[in-house]
């Protein structure tokens, strides 16, 4: 009698592959060819041909290879020959039908005496059970993947991307199926990056928005190109010298974007968010800190990778130079800036905020009047503002001037150089200990 572990077939039929898949995914079982549904033994006329067709079908129709868990033989019952297929529970579940993929219409399980499609939650449980908890190692639900964008990207970087490399890079698992890492690099990647440009400093008025799809490598390229449109270059004139300063250090933008892509938690659905304001850019990625790592650890450059193999691919493509240096590089880019990058971490998200170095702020003149910092502000006004610092201190530094005026390092250096030349300031010390005191001309003001 048919049961959860027994299936009867009167003759060879293509439906046998469903039963084999179901038994391998559940608790194993036996299929008998030559027995009717009611248990009546009718036998098989051409045993050798039936065995050949059965083994060929199992080998060609089921993925990953399940043949090591299947044994086909011949038994004699009531004087008649019956083909017996013994199936053990496999270790690489879920097994699925080639061409159908790891989805309900391709994955079958035993339910009572029937082979039925597995639900998506059951499929995910099987993947987790046999593949471990690590997302990028697990088999991808979608096995119909293409890599046109990734191949182009690897080619541009002069890095090979053939079948052997896909195995080495862990895009293909030991069972010859695509992993979730392959899914991330494929043209069918389900994860996206959403970018939005807002007017002013609040999320009230949209100026533009865009959603990027496709391979993560393609999204990386498109996201940086999109952000770069809003990274304007501003010119400041100090005397006869023109100083060009971009809103955001390109290396800081690059590192913040790479961090959002490489370190996010892809086991959770939802887009990576990039918000561009007049005064800042925010990068928000899903996934808080990796277990065992604190906020202070990452600020010191400690790196525990959530997506180790993805990071390794980015390293091979020379997109990242060394693990754990991204946050440090971002902070270094803002060493001489008045406002520093900000990092916020919650249980399920990570946000990096980069300030706009050229965002127009105000500084205070000696009389206490607030004057907007714009191109029309004269060099004399700026120098007066610098001299006002001596009302509360005996010496000043270049960073004091940057913080007061909200200008770049180069602009502050040129301004101070002019003030030294005019006798308003005197340089004291050198290198890290360099500071400025009032000169003869400055004391007369």
Other CB atoms within 10 Å distance of the CB of residue 343 = 18
pLDDT (0 to 100) of residue 401: 87
Please give the mean pLDDT across all residues of the chain: 87
pLDDT in tens, 335-355: 888 889 999 988 788 999 999
In the chain, % helix, strand, coil (3-state, to 5) comes to 35, 25, 40
Q: What is the CA radius of gyration of the chain?
A: 33
Q: What is the pLDDT of residues 124-148, one digit of tens each?
A: 888 777 755 578 988 888 888 999 9
Select from 248, 252, 254 the least CA-distant residue to 278.
248
Whole-Å CA distances, 390 to 144, 330, 382, 395: 70, 32, 14, 7
Domains for the chain: give ranges and CATH numbers. Answer: 6-123 (3.30.950.30), 193-223+251-340 (3.30.565.60), 362-443 (1.10.10.10)
What is the predicted pLDDT for the residue at 173?
Answer: 87
Q: Is the pLDDT of residue 288 over 50?
A: yes
Query: Do the Cβ atoms of 279 and 359 come closer than 8 Å?
Result: yes
**Cα 154 from Cα 161, distance rounded (Å):** 6
Closest CA to 124 of 110, 138, 137: 138
Beta-strand pair 80-87/70-77: antiparallel
Whether the CB-CB separation of 87 and 20 falls below 8 Å is answered with yes
* 292-333 pLDDT per residue, tens: 667 777 766 666 678 989 999 999 999 987 666 788 889 889
Q: What is the pTM of this model?
A: 0.61
Cα–Cα distance between 179 and 186 in angstroms, integer? Answer: 11
> In the structure encoding, which two tokens stand for residue 398, read together?
């270049």
CA distance 381 to 373: 10
Q: How far apart are CA 442 and CA 385, in angstroms?
A: 12
The Cα 31–Cα 11 span in angstroms is 11
Contact 20, 58 (CB under 8 A): yes
Q: How confident is the model at residue 367 (pLDDT cuts 50, 70, 90)?
A: very low
Give me the pLDDT at residue 324, please.
63
């Amino acid at each position: 009698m048919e049961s959860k572990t027994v299936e009867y077939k009167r003759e060879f039929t293509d439906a046998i592959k469903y039963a084999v898949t179901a038994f391998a995914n559940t608790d194993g079982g036996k299929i008998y060819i030559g027995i009717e549904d009611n248990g009546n033994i009718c036998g098989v006329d051409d045993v050798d041909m039936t065995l050949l067709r059965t083994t060929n079908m199992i080998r060609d129709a089921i993925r990953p290879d399940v043949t090591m868990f299947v044994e086909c033989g011949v038994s004699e019952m009531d004087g008649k020959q019956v083909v017996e297929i013994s199936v053990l529970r496999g270790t690489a579940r879920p097994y699925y039908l080639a061409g159908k993929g790891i989805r309900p219409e391709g994955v079958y399980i035993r339910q009572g005496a029937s082979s039925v499609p597995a639900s998506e939650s059951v499929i995910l449980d099987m993947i987790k059970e046999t593949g471990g908890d690590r997302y990028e190692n697990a088999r991808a639900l979608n096995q119909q993947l293409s890599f046109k964008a990734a191949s182009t990207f690897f080619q541009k970087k002069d890095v090979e991307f053939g079948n052997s490399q896909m195995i080495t890079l862990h895009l293909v698992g030991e069972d010859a199926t695509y992993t979730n890492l392959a899914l991330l690099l494929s043209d069918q990647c389900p994860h996206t990056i959403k970018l939005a440009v807002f007017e002013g400093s609040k999320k009230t008025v949209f100026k533009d928005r865009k959603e990027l799809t496709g391979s993560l490598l393609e999204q990386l390229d498109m996201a940086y190109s999109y952000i770069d449109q809003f990274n304007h270059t501003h010119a400041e004139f100090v005397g006869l010298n023109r100083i060009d300063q971009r809103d955001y250090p390109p290396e800081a933008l690059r590192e913040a974007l790479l961090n959002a892509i490489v370190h996010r938690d892809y086991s959770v659905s939802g887009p990576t968010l990039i918000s561009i304001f007049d005064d800042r850019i925010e990068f928000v990625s899903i996934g808080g800190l990796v277990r065992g790592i604190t906020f202070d650890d990452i600020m010191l450059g400690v790196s525990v990778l959530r997506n180790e193999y993805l990071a390794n691919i980015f390293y091979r493509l020379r997109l990242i130079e060394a693990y754990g240096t991204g946050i440090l590089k971002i902070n270094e880019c803002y060493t001489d800036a008045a406002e520093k990058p900000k990092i916020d971490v919650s249980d399920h998200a990570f946000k990096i905020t980069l300030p706009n170095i050229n965002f127009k702020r105000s500084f205070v003149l000696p009389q206490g009047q607030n004057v907007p910092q714009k191109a029309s502000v004269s060099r004399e006004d700026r120098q007066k503002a610098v001299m006002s610092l001596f009302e509360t201190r005996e010496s000043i530094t270049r960073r004091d001037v940057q913080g007061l005026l909200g200008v770049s390092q180069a602009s502050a250096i040129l301004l101070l150089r002019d003030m030294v030349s005019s006798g308003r300031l005197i340089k004291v010390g050198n290198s890290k200990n360099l500071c400025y005191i009032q000169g003869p001309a400055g004391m007369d003001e």
